[in-house]
Chain A
Amino acid sequence: MMDERLYRETFSRLRASDEAKKEVLVKMNETKKTRRPLKALRAVALAAMLTLALAVTANAASNGMLFENLRVVWQNGSQIMLEDDQGNQVLVTGVYADAEMKDGKLMLTVDDEEYDITADMKENGVFSATVENAEGRAVDVSVTGSLEDWEIATSFEESGVDYNTATEQTGRVSTITKSYTTVTTGE
């Protein structure tokens, strides 16, 4: 049997460096760009999110909050945060979903996970599931149509958020299926 006490003693010695902890505090405050190159589709998704964020800021401006000189504070695969010179911030979170034929199979991608939906689409003309994305959100995904002509709809439930909805169809460029925004006013 494994010596559990020895295991705990041993692994309690394993700690992140102070430098790494300090760095994450700096990253919290500073402009942060994604360190790894983005896949082409992700770049498209982020561009769509940026467009959406700008639309949101315009909307916010009409309610008396004026956003000027926006800069990207940081971004990752599914979120982008913008900040103006007054410290007002806009956070846009998106769920990425797309489908494409690969080697005769219809592969659905939700964030970074891939699902083979060929059998469901062939037999029933529909694929429906709740999947968990990288941030731990339960995302309801529904694909309807055929292997050649499909439509994806996604949704996720969270209270108190502002939803912006669109659906993805075969051949369309837009890849953001659902996103919401959070606006924080600076001091």
Chain B
Amino acid sequence: MTDQRFREAVEQYGDMVFRLAYSYLKNRADAEDVMQETLLKFYVEPREFESADHEKHWLLRVAANECKKLLRSPWRRRTDPLDEAAEAAAFDRPAQSELFRQVMALPPKYRAAVYLYYYEGYSVKETGELLGAKASTVQTWLMRARGQLKNKLKEAEA
């Protein structure tokens, strides 16, 4: 891979990988570490990707694995509530801050599935492939996430 292509890839995929990693890890520093690690693996990956979709799928898969590895690692930074609050405060509208807080209160697997399904537009089956889970399991995660968000947002309104 040329240096120029790598620079383009950082711009093209950096935020996408970061969003998935933040959804998983809820910690900016760890998510940025995962973004860098994933992109550097991409830089040295010798294979030729069949398409842009294949390339994107590979990056998200590697990022998801890096996140899972980090979640099991004793070296992982713990979530700092102030860090999360600072992220939430950066939104323009209170509705965005509220939704962000509620999504971040979900379990990590639910947050990652919600991101891939609702933001990246992957199907349930594809989301399962990316997260190493069965489609039926992802379906359950999404259903529970929707249920929890609905209840929590209602509570917040009340």
Q: Answer whether A24 and B39 are a contact pair too, CB < 8 Å, given A14-B87, A16-B15.
A: yes
Q: How far in angstroms is the closest Cβ of chain A from B58?
A: 5
Q: Answer whether A11 and B115 are a contact pair too, CB < 8 Å, given A79-B44, A136-B58.
A: yes
Q: Answer whether A8 and B46 are a contact pair too, CB < 8 Å, given A25-B7, A74-B40, A132-B132.
A: no
Q: Secondary structure of the B side of the interface?
A: helix
Complex partner residue of A20 from B32, B62, B96, CB under 8 angstroms: B32
Complex partner residue of B95 from A6, A13, A74, A79, CB under 8 angstroms: A6
Q: Give the interface size class of chain B.
A: 35 or more
Contact string against A for B residues 56-79, beta-carbon threshold 8 Å, 1 for contact and 0 otherwise:
001001100110010001010000
Subset of 8 A-B contacts with CB under 8 Å: A3-B99, A11-B19, A14-B15, A16-B17, A21-B11, A23-B36, A81-B44, A135-B62
Interface of A toward B, CB cutoff 8 Å:
1-4, 6-11, 13-17, 20-21, 23-25, 27-29, 32, 35-37, 74, 76, 79, 81, 91, 93, 112, 132, 134-136, 158, 161, 182
Interface of B toward A, CB cutoff 8 Å:
3, 6-7, 10-11, 14-15, 17-19, 22-23, 28, 31-33, 35-37, 39-41, 43-47, 58, 61-62, 65-66, 69, 73, 75, 87, 90-92, 95-96, 99-100, 103, 114-115, 118-119, 132, 145-146, 149-150
